[in-house]
Structure 1
Amino acid sequence: MPEPRRLLPVSIIPFPDRSIQTIRYCMAIAQSSSPLAQLLVHCRRFADANAGPDGSAPTPARGLSVVRALHPGELMVAVQKPVIAMLLQGRKRVTTLGASFEYAPGEAMVIAADIPTVSRIAHASIAEPYYALVLELDPAILRALRPAVSVRSGKAPPVRVEPIDAEVIDASLRLARLLDRPEALSVLADGLLRELHYWLLMGVHGPAIAALGVPDSHAGRIARAVDILRREYARPIRVEELAQAAAMSEPAFHKHFRAITTLSPLQFQKQLRLIEARRLMLSEGAKIAQAAHMVGYASVTQFTREYGRLFDAPPGRDIRIANAVA
């Protein structure tokens, strides 16, 4: 299953040769002693050299990517994996769980559950693009750290925007400095990713993040079912199979699945299918019927109806807009 960051590409035009204004801008940032400014310089250089048509630039470090956009984009719908998104330049607005968050450079949004989001890059331009460093939270690392970490007590919402902790910026900067040194990154990345997860656990997001590393917690059990849905979204999946994977009764599974993801298992799978179909049409040029069948729909009419309900527009319109931009 493609990563959520790739699902609904922002309309992006090719990045031009740097103008004198842009070069001066980069030099001004580079001269700053701020670790956050230095992190932007390294991430910007990597993204400008490696970003794909959707603006995403996956790095060699597991689960780490840089996102770039050159102008404000359309609404993006995704069933988001647990992540931390550190905003380095620009602004972004995200709506999820009935609340909206707009965050700015120096702030991070942590999503500590598999939940649907609707987002839009609110500020970006060719002179000052949007850049964000995104890390998928790794339950295996969290499980390994848990015995050695005393996470602050209390409950935390699964979605939260806060200023980026200094320790998180420092660990991220040391990781970003290695992006153009693949040999060093292959040796040091695992340790730096572990450190980054440690500081996230110790920060304000700790209580929500820690639950991801507890296999027998409700979040951990539901995550096993979500993994099946993400990998095999195109085939019919019985709720009984998902409940067994989560080691729950079907009534308990339904209750906890909705509590954590805000969706029923069927709704969750449907959104995965529709999001992937949109990616296939806009990024890979698939026809409407072809995309519908590839993601598991037997009826193109049903696909078109449900697509329009989720995205507020029929698939044909989205394809026409994407072709016009291209």
Structure 2
Amino acid sequence: MTVSKQSVRRSGPEDPVRQARAELARKIDAYVGTQVRRETDIPGLTLVRRTELTAPACMTYEPSVAIIAQGRKRVELGLTTFIYDESRFLLTSVDLPITSQVVEASAAAPFLALSLKFEMTMVREMLSRDEIPPPDTPPDTPAMATGATTAELLGACCRLVELLNTPADIPFLSGLIQREIIYRILRGPEGARLRAIATLGDQSHRTAKAIAWMRVNFAKPLRVEDLAQMAGMGVSTLHHHFRALTAMSPLQYQKQLRLQAARTQMLTDGLDAASAAFAVGYESASQFSREYSRFFGQPPMRDIRTLRAPNSPPMERAGQQ
């Protein structure tokens, strides 16, 4: 067992949060083993284990909750930095291009975490129940937030991971436990934005529809007027709510998605810079190279060579929350 001695030493019956956290760490560590990342048979559930720090990696987080049982991570959304660790979870309510980095991990105390993607139909089902009173209207803050990890939330996560030992129970019980996890989040202040995005007709929900379309169609030409019409909003209103949710404008959002996709294609598929540029929607290879250099700090192929170098620090793959 590789859970840190400090975590075990502090655990005790007088502290249910630490006790539940240590139990979750043991379960994740046992199931992942020596792997870095494991997709599970539970829909949307991914477990991650890292024994070393990672280089900053650009990727897109989907609507989900990420809970760390041991270690720490930093996420940058625009100019805002989120730190989440053993005491705070990360909630993402729409697809967001971010920069992510594991900042606390070692062989003696590995980074251990789980991420659970949300099904918005399940969130809406939970919101229809009277047991979840509506909170105050969420302020104009990004669709990403951290919240205190409670013993109740950790307990539900432990039971969800425990289901992996009894696969026959997953079809019936996993949905029940996922609903409990959503319930715990919606009851807290961080759940206000998730509620707004899941509520049909709400402006946050309309903006989220536009974001979802862009996430799939980022390579297509973008007219903000068409995007606003799709969302049923005026252009200025869409700009306001889009920036509030994503911390960037629609054009900046599209650019980040394109550059991330191009980097992935060059790194994993072996495409050259010009081919990757055209594949993600650029009409000019020189413009792509300029924007890529500004975003990643060096020209495309030099960046790819750096990432492939044997002494380069490891990078997370897309989806590793």
After TM superposition, the score normalised by the length of structure 1 is: 0.81
Q: How far did residue 215 of structure 1 move?
A: 1.8
SS in structure 1 at match of 2:99 = strand
- Structure 2 distance, partners of 1:24, 1:256, is 43
**AA aligned opposite 2:284:** S
Range 140-149 or range 224-233, more displaced = 140-149
Match of 1:140 in 2: 121
SS in structure 2 at match of 1:177 = helix
Match of 1:268 among 211, 235, 253: 253
Q: Residues 97 and 66 (structure 1 numbering): CA distance in 2 closer, same or farther, change over 3 Å?
A: same
- Structure 2 distance, partners of 1:266, 1:101, is 23
Q: How far did residue 220 of structure 1 move?
A: 0.4
Range 127-136 or range 32-41, more displaced = 32-41
- Structure 1 distance, partners of 2:224, 2:45, is 32
Match of 2:206 among 221, 230, 238: 221
Asked if residue 205 in structure 1 is aligned to residue 195 in structure 2, the reply is no
**AA aligned opposite 1:62:** P
Asked if residue 297 in structure 1 is aligned to residue 287 in structure 2, the reply is no
1:75–1:119 CA contact under 8 A, matched in 2: yes
2:138–2:196 CA contact under 8 A, matched in 1: no
Match of 2:50 in 1: 69
Q: How far did residue 234 of structure 1 move?
A: 1.4
Match of 1:175 among 133, 154, 160: 160
- Structure 2 distance, partners of 1:24, 1:230, is 39
- Structure 2 distance, partners of 1:281, 1:314, is 12
| Unpaired stretches in structure 1, ≥5 consecutive residues | 1-20
1:114–1:260 CA contact under 8 A, matched in 2: no
Match of 1:4 in 2: none
Match of 1:58 in 2: 39
Match of 2:237 in 1: 252
Asked if residue 35 in structure 1 is aligned to residue 16 in structure 2, the reply is no
Q: How far did residue 181 of structure 1 move?
A: 3.2
**Percent identity among equivalent residues?**
34
Q: Residues 165 and 323 (structure 1 numbering): CA distance in 2 closer, same or farther, change over 3 Å?
A: same
- Structure 2 distance, partners of 1:281, 1:69, is 25
Q: Residues 40 and 192 (structure 1 numbering): CA distance in 2 closer, same or farther, change over 3 Å?
A: same
1:141–1:213 CA contact under 8 A, matched in 2: no
- Structure 2 distance, partners of 1:146, 1:74, is 38
- Structure 2 distance, partners of 1:147, 1:42, is 33
Match of 1:150 in 2: 133
**Per-residue Cα deviation, 1:276-319 (whole angstroms, up to 9, x for no partner):** 11122223433323322221223222212111111122222321
2:3–2:26 CA contact under 8 A, matched in 1: no
**Per-residue Cα deviation, 1:217-254 (whole angstroms, up to 9, x for no partner):** 11100111111111111122332332222111223222
SS in structure 2 at match of 1:237 = coil
Q: How far did residue 154 of structure 1 move?
A: 5.8
Q: Residues 217 and 154 (structure 1 numbering): CA distance in 2 closer, same or farther, change over 3 Å?
A: closer
Match of 2:99 in 1: 118
- Structure 1 distance, partners of 2:278, 2:303, is 18
Match of 1:45 in 2: 30
SS in structure 1 at match of 2:115 = strand
Q: Residues 119 and 41 (structure 1 numbering): CA distance in 2 closer, same or farther, change over 3 Å?
A: same
1:113–1:219 CA contact under 8 A, matched in 2: no
- Structure 2 distance, partners of 1:233, 1:56, is 27
| Unpaired stretches in structure 2, ≥5 consecutive residues | 14-18, 312-321
- Structure 1 distance, partners of 2:31, 2:217, is 32
Match of 1:89 in 2: 70
1:32–1:38 CA contact under 8 A, matched in 2: no
Match of 1:103 among 81, 84, 89: 84
Asked if residue 196 in structure 1 is aligned to residue 181 in structure 2, the reply is yes
**Per-residue Cα deviation, 1:249-269 (whole angstroms, up to 9, x for no partner):** 223222322222222212111
Q: Residues 182 and 293 (structure 1 numbering): CA distance in 2 closer, same or farther, change over 3 Å?
A: farther
Match of 1:322 in 2: 307
Q: How far did residue 122 of structure 1 move?
A: 0.9
Q: How far did residue 22 of structure 1 move?
A: 4.7
